Amino acid sequence: MATGIIKQIFEDKWGEFKEKYPIRPTVLSEVKKMLTCKDMSEGYSKFCCPTCNEVRYVGFTCKSRFCTSCGRKATEQWVEKLS
């Protein structure tokens, strides 16, 4: 699966960054969730088409506000609620 540019930057630099700077536990938790978003080893759903029997596995999302994918969805829902 393709990795977004933001997630790739975190994968490449996060270990080095967190060793240099003090980071709040909440931030550590949110970044960890973001880095494992849609990772099949963290769990997945299996979908099977009843017509053609094609099977698709979809990794669980992290639902982190920090994730560029999940956070965006939460922001859009929040904006919709305010409208």
Q: What pLDDT does 47 receive?
A: 96
Residues of the chain with pLDDT under 70: 1-3
Q: What pLDDT does 18 receive?
A: 93
Q: What pLDDT does 2 receive?
A: 53
Closest listed residue to residue 61, CA positions, set 28, 33, 41, 82? 33
Q: What pLDDT does 15 receive?
A: 93
> Parallel, antiparallel, or unpaired: how do β-strands 55-59 and 44-48 relate?
antiparallel
Asked if 43 contacts 75 with a C-beta cutoff of 8 angstroms, the reply is no
Instruction: Please tell me the pTM assigned to this model.
Output: 0.71
Q: Tell me how far apart the alpha carbons of residues 66 and 31 are, in angstroms, rounded to a whole number.
A: 7
Q: Tell me how far apart the alpha carbons of residues 4 and 50 are, in angstroms, rounded to a whole number.
A: 32
Q: What pLDDT does 1 receive?
A: 47
